[in-house]
Structure 1
Amino acid sequence: MNTNRLFAYVGSYTTPERQGRGNGINVYRVDPRSGAFRHIQHLAGLENPSFLALNAAGTRLYSVHGDRSEATSYTIDPETGHIAVLNRQPTGGFNPIHLAFDATGRFLVVSNYGSDSIAALPIGRDGALGAYTTLTAVTAPLGPHRVEQKNVRPHHNPLDRQGRYFYLPCKGSDCVIGYRLDKRRGVLVEANRVTARPSAGPRHIDFHPSKALAYVINELDSTITTYRQDRSSGQLTPLQTVPSTPSDFTGYSTGAEIWVDRAGRNVYVSNRGHDSIGVFGIDARKGTLTPRQWVPTKGGTPRFFAFDPAQRFLYVANQGGDSIVGYRVGRGGMLVPTRLQVKVGSPACIVFSPLPGKLPRGLS
């Protein structure tokens, strides 16, 4: 990858069932100083390429396809940033919703939201996806919500900072399950689990860069839970739960995305309904959270957000607002409004080519 160029890859929802107005994957050249996006490619013919991942070298892109049953690999031209389909593989289930690399970059782990399973797809030397060997069923008691907890609904499967455990927040069963990857057999094995509050709906998880702490955004009750992690067993122990929206907000909202900044000083979350990004300070001693700021996302349904590799900017993907909106990361991690805005149909995910010497999120 040309180290002097920064590219952004944006996945989207495309189908009528998802009220999708997207058209596939769009590629942008990014100005690292101003944060501006310039469109350079549109790859069509893809249904709901809803979540994306880049390998550590920035030479291969991968996607899962919402409401479908496959994952796709793509080549990346190192000079232009353009992508092309390399191959596809079944994920073994319905509605794959997230994907993450193992610590070696030799496996891609995928969670099937619609059919309660996870799979480890081997990655060949050319970056192509191989077939999974064994599908791991995700089982847990269901939560009480009659609409949103009809099945376990595994929603996210990132690797922790030590590269040992994949954590799976299960929206339908109010729990977070940790798995280790048996590389010899290519299968995920449960290692630990922790129960959340009934109808919390754990959705996404992120980890402190240096301390044994994890943070989970709970979708259904719009809260954030802080967990202590046992580095040996991977077991999570809850420490605190706080609302992800302001105390004076009385409307309906659901939590979506969560990130911990590189310095380990702040947790960022997105709220769909309140349509905001919340910034929460991390107590340096306890690891618990205190709200610092909420900024409007200037568009509906902020499903996803991401920092650029240097963490100078934070970009919000407004799925319902057909836009990407940028904020400058100011002093202390507070968000400063900018004029950065990109029109794109139903954006669902944004990933950036890596900076020299830096690994993408999930491989640090």
Structure 2
Amino acid sequence: MNNQRGNDELLLYVGSYALQDEPSIYQCKLDRNTGELTLIDSFAGILNPSFLVGNQDGNRLYSISESAQGAVAAYAIHPESGKLSELGMKELEGADPCYLTLSSTGYILIAHYSSGHLNTFALDTDGALAEMVSQIQHVGGSGAVSDRQEAAHAHSIVVNQEGTYAYVSDLGQDKIVIYRLEDGKLQASGHVELPPGSGPRHFVIRESGNTAYGINELNNSITTYNYNSIDGDLEIVQHISTLPEGFIGESYPADIHLSPDGRYIYGSNRGHDSIVRFAIDSTTGLLSEPVWSEAGGKWPRNFAVLEDYVLVANQNSNNIAVFKRDGDTGMLTATGSGLTLDKPVCIEPIYGK
């Protein structure tokens, strides 16, 4: 298949929890006419590739290795077959990396859950990781949830589209920590404190509306922020539950994504086993009109939102479920299509140019 192709097929990669000698990154394709998801190939050689990110050109893929001795691997994507060729793997200073992102200015940034470290690396001419240009360690947790907030836990790091600010969701500290990003170096710029026991996990920026949204793992909520792209500041304006009123049981939100047109936002609920959709007010950015859809499996972790489909990685039922997405209403409809894969936890579409 040609991964630079037209609109009928979409190349994507799935990361999972697996041993180093087992298949752990899966190459798939989505037929956008039928919703059929097909497994093309699988790749071993990396332990627990639980988070993946592709570059804007669609020719490189990066994966963390979530482990006590963390690492990041870089891969070239073959332009015709989509096959991965490893460019190099670099060990990291910090335990259990859980998230990585690419800045528009050419750096890769990594967040470490267990040790609270942040790393920034330059990329060489092939796209592999070069020298480390910045390292910061968060210290101290809020302690509000004693078994989860005993220490700092940097759960994600997200860069704005200009590549000037980075936002770190620290689950252990109940903070979004803001950094100025200059030549790959992280410089503290401020932070926003969330209610005790929130546990911020993932974060997205709606650049066109000057709003941002964070999903909070420990109190089952999404926080809406006013976002200032000039000075990077955030202001909390709303907290809203990811669960329906009256739900009884344990549930932990995981991932959050905007629709491509910025009109809707989606979150995954592990335990309630659902995807929640909110409408976004075009003027204020506030969320309303929640609608819940069954996730098509157990423990929906990461998911991908396309113009026409939503694909959900259900970790505990070992499957990816495919939903048709209505672009006008944002509503999801199960297609019955999907794949059985072992412990899928991340889905990364590759668009290319």
- Aligning the two structures, in what range does the TM-score lie when normalised by the shorter sequence? over 0.9
1:42 shift after superposition: 0.8
Task: State the SS of the aligned residue for 1:94.
Answer: coil
The aligned counterpart of 1:348 is 345
**Given the alignment of the two structures, is residue 207 of structure 1 paired with residue 202 of structure 2, yes or no?**
no
1:326 shift after superposition: 0.8
- State which of 261, 265, 268 in structure 1 corresponds to 2:266: 268
The 1:176/1:140 distance shift into structure 2, 3 A limit, reads: farther
**Given the alignment of the two structures, is residue 318 of structure 1 paired with residue 314 of structure 2, yes or no?**
yes
- Kept in 1: contact 2:25–2:43 (CA 8 A): yes
Q: Distance in 1 between matches of 2:15 and 2:318?
A: 12
Q: 2:12 is matched by which residue type in structure 1?
A: A
- The share of aligned pairs that are identical, in percent, is 32
Q: TM-score, normalised by structure 1?
A: 0.91
The aligned counterpart of 1:172 is 172
- Kept in 2: contact 1:91–1:132 (CA 8 A): no
- Kept in 1: contact 2:101–2:110 (CA 8 A): yes
1:1-364 matches, cutoff 5 A? 1-4=3-6, 5-15=9-19, 23-67=23-67, 68-104=69-105, 106-139=106-139, 141-183=141-183, 186-308=184-306, 311-330=307-326, 331-354=328-351, 356=353
The aligned counterpart of 1:362 is none
1:150 shift after superposition: 1.9
- Kept in 2: contact 1:194–1:236 (CA 8 A): yes
- Kept in 2: contact 1:209–1:263 (CA 8 A): no
**Runs ≥4 residues deviating over 4 A:** none
1:120-166: CA deviations, max 9, x gaps? Answer: 11111111111313411224552311111121101111112443211
1:286-332: CA deviations, max 9, x gaps? Answer: 21111331001121111111124xx2100000011100001111131
1:355 shift after superposition: 5.2
Q: Distance in 2 between matches of 1:47 and 1:109?
A: 19
Task: State the SS of the aligned residue for 2:159.
Answer: coil
Is 336-345 or 27-36 further displaced after alignment?
27-36
Which segments of 5 or more consecutive residues in structure 2 lack a partner in the other structure?
Answer: none
Q: 1:300 is matched by which residue type in structure 2?
A: K
Q: 1:153 is matched by which residue type in structure 2?
A: H
Q: CA RMSD in A?
A: 1.7
1:72-116: CA deviations, max 9, x gaps? Answer: 001111000010211011221110111111112x21001111111
Q: Distance in 1 between matches of 2:352 and 2:128?
A: 23
- Kept in 2: contact 1:175–1:195 (CA 8 A): yes
Q: TM-score, normalised by structure 2?
A: 0.94
The 1:70/1:355 distance shift into structure 2, 3 A limit, reads: closer
1:282 shift after superposition: 1.0
Task: State the SS of the aligned residue for 1:130.
Answer: strand
- Kept in 2: contact 1:136–1:189 (CA 8 A): no
1:189 shift after superposition: 1.2
Count of aligned pairs between the two proteins: 347
The 1:214/1:70 distance shift into structure 2, 3 A limit, reads: same
| Structure number with higher strand proportion | 2
Task: State the SS of the aligned residue for 1:352.
Answer: strand
Q: Distance in 1 between matches of 2:186 and 2:299?
A: 32
- Kept in 1: contact 2:112–2:154 (CA 8 A): yes
Q: Distance in 2 between matches of 1:39 and 1:231?
A: 40
1:57 shift after superposition: 0.6
Q: 1:329 is matched by which residue type in structure 2?
A: R
Q: Distance in 2 between matches of 1:57 and 1:50?
A: 22
